Structure 1
Amino acid sequence: MTVFVCSACGLSITGPLTELTEMPTRPRDQGYPKADGSRRATATMPLGFFALEPEPWGAPLVPTDECRAVFPGGPCVADPDGDGFLMSAGPRNTVVLHPDDARGLREDSDVFRHCSGCCGLHGEAGMNQQCPCGAHVGTLINDCNTAYELHLDPNQVRLITD
């Protein structure tokens, strides 16, 4: 079992998790209304598990000519400063987990860092989750046109295994 802790203060930010050997296929139900009225996708990760995202994920975003997902689990995003689109140049091997497996994290109150879409957080503005000590540790995405998952930045957390 693995527990993730904040690199800045050492506080546990997850309970015990089991690693999956590869990323699960992301559900295709983004944006479709559910019986409870929400439009959130089904969570990518089952509770109690995590996987490493091998592709670049999250901010910074850089220009590209092709329309493709800005990062795995995200939408195609037009470049507001050009004629093309944006893609992630963020870190590889972000730790992907079910958002409910995080403990004590809070949303960044800086409006520029936790910009949201129409139904939730889209993750394009950078890390939007903070440890109680104030350190940014990850990015939650839960908008209607994104996957539903939490990414812990591998540079901001440490893992402890037993």
Structure 2
Amino acid sequence: MTVFVCTACDRSIAGPLTKLPEVPVRPMDQGFPKADGSRRATPTLPLGFFALEPEPWGAPLLPSDECREVFAGGPCLSDPNGDGFLVSAGPRNTVILHPDDASGLQPHPDWKKHSGGCCGFDGQSGMNQLCPCGAEVGTLISECNTAYELHLDPGQVRSITA
């Protein structure tokens, strides 16, 4: 079992969790209304588990000539400043988990800057989740056209084997 702690204050922010060997296939139900009226996708990971995203994930976003997911679990985005598209140049090996496994995190105080969508957080504006100490530790994506998952930044958290 693994616990993730904030590198700024050593507070436990998620866990104990069991590591999966790879990121599960992301559910394809983004944007479809659910029984509760939400349009959020089914969580990528079940409660109590985590996986490492091997691909670059999150901000910063860089121009690209090809239309592909801006980052795993995100949509293809046009570059508003050019003719092409945007792709992630963020860190590799972000820790993906069910958002409820880190329920003590707080949304960024400037959450409107970080939401970006009609239904939730799109993850394109950088980390939007804070440790109670105030350190930015992760990015929640919960927009109707994205996966539903929390990514902890590998530079902002460390793991402890419990």
> Normalized against structure 1, the TM-score is what?
0.97
Where do 5+ consecutive residues of structure 1 fail to align?
Answer: none
CA distance in structure 1 between the aligned counterparts of 2:113 and 2:90, rounded to whole angstroms: 15
CA distance in structure 2 between the aligned counterparts of 1:137 and 1:122, rounded to whole angstroms: 16
DSSP-derived class of the 1:147 partner: coil
Contact 2:111 2:128 in 1 (8 A): no
Contact 1:15 1:103 in 2 (8 A): no
Name the counterpart of 1:70. Answer: 70
- The CA deviation at 1:62 is 0.2
Contact 1:113 1:127 in 2 (8 A): no
Query: Are 1:146 and 2:126 counterparts?
Result: no
Q: Which residue identity does 1:29 align to in structure 2?
A: D
Name the counterpart of 2:161. Answer: 161
Contact 1:63 1:85 in 2 (8 A): yes
CA distance in structure 2 between the aligned counterparts of 1:121 and 1:75, rounded to whole angstroms: 13
Query: Are 1:50 and 2:50 counterparts?
Result: yes
Where do 5+ consecutive residues of structure 2 fail to align?
Answer: none
Most deviating of 105-114 and 140-149: 105-114
CA distance in structure 2 between the aligned counterparts of 1:4 and 1:101, rounded to whole angstroms: 10
Name the counterpart of 1:100. Answer: 100
DSSP-derived class of the 2:62 partner: strand
- The CA deviation at 1:116 is 2.5
Aligned pairs (5 A) from 1:12-161: 12-111=12-111, 113-161=113-161
TM-aligned CA distance change 1:55 to 1:96, over 3 Å: same
Query: Are 1:6 and 2:9 counterparts?
Result: no
DSSP-derived class of the 2:16 partner: coil
DSSP-derived class of the 2:8 partner: coil
- The CA deviation at 1:103 is 3.5
- The CA deviation at 1:23 is 0.6
DSSP-derived class of the 1:51 partner: strand
- The CA deviation at 1:115 is 3.0
> Normalized against structure 2, the TM-score is what?
0.97
- The CA deviation at 1:35 is 1.2
Compute the RMSD of aligned alpha carbons.
1.0
CA distance in structure 2 between the aligned counterparts of 1:89 and 1:16, rounded to whole angstroms: 29
DSSP-derived class of the 1:101 partner: helix
CA distance in structure 2 between the aligned counterparts of 1:15 and 1:74, rounded to whole angstroms: 25
CA distance in structure 2 between the aligned counterparts of 1:35 and 1:9, rounded to whole angstroms: 40
CA distance in structure 1 between the aligned counterparts of 2:20 and 2:62, rounded to whole angstroms: 30
